[in-house]
Amino acid sequence: MLQPSLKCINQLFEHAITSEPIGMGGIWQIRDFSPTAGGDTHCGYLLHSDGPSFLLKLNDLAKQSLFSSEAHGLRAIAATQTIATCRPLCLGHSQNYSYLVLEGLKLELEGNWYLAGQQLAQMHLAPAEQQYGFSHPSYCGKTYQPSTRDDNWAHFFAVHRIGHQLSLLRGQHIDAAEIQTTIDIVKDLLHHRQPPPSLVHGDLWQGNISFHQDQPVIFDPACYYGDPETDLAMSELFSRLPEDFYSGYESVAAIDSGYSERREIYQLYHILNHANLYGGSYRQDAEQALRKLLH
């Protein structure tokens, strides 16, 4: 756990805004800071200055690519001009730390869930790239996500999402033949699904959506261009979002009748990711989900 001093925080902040001007009309002295809750990929601190507040994320130098990926995803979301996010201001490294500075929004857990669903649907409908994948390395939590471009959704998801996660589990009650069999099954199940590529958040659970002045804000993305149903599936995996969210979504974009058949396939990706990241009961959940798929 990183525990920098106020002096260290000010030095880092000064280095950050000097290296990459943040375009907020001033230079501020940080008067105090407080740790933020949540997140297992970094240490977070809310910085209180004599002007605006900022969110500073810190990690060791070896994890700098995580912050670069996060900033790229946040900028992609912001570029759709549909749903708010925590604007990335600058990132870099100094004093053995890698850092990412975000605008320090005051976030609340409850707000207008109907609007959140509408704005996510608008993001999914926003003009996007023509292929699945992403132009920048991305991560889901601490797990690298291949950004390989692909014209075929079934192949992309089966190989670059499910197959990649299974390769990380290889040797732990799963072998190469079983991996290939699973990939083939997922390809077959998604064979007729070829949605227009949409920008997806990639890790849309309740901990990654909040509200600022009643306006929805999404953050901690694992962005890529894919099937918007993957966001809906993740939003239902651990704790389904309030019903107003789904009503708002459907008021803008209809949910395909076949979604209920694909939901478990899309959720499998996150179950496997949790097994790889945390083990324990998540490993058992993954093995059970794979048995169900295979048999």
Q: Which residues are catalytic?
A: 203
CA 248 to CA 114: how far, in whole Å? Answer: 4
Cα 27–Cα 28–Cα 29 angle in degrees, nearest 5: 140
Taking alpha carbons only, the member of 58, 34, 36, 216 closest to residue 123 is 216
What does the alpha-carbon distance between residue 89 and residue 54 come to, in Å, rounded to a whole number? 9
What's the rounded Cα separation, in Å, for the pair 186 and 184? 6
Angle at 205 (CA atoms; ends 203, 206), nearest 5 degrees: 145
Query: What whole-number distance in Å separates Cα of residue 61 and Cα of residue 25?
Result: 29
> Quick check: helix, strand or coil at residue 27?
coil
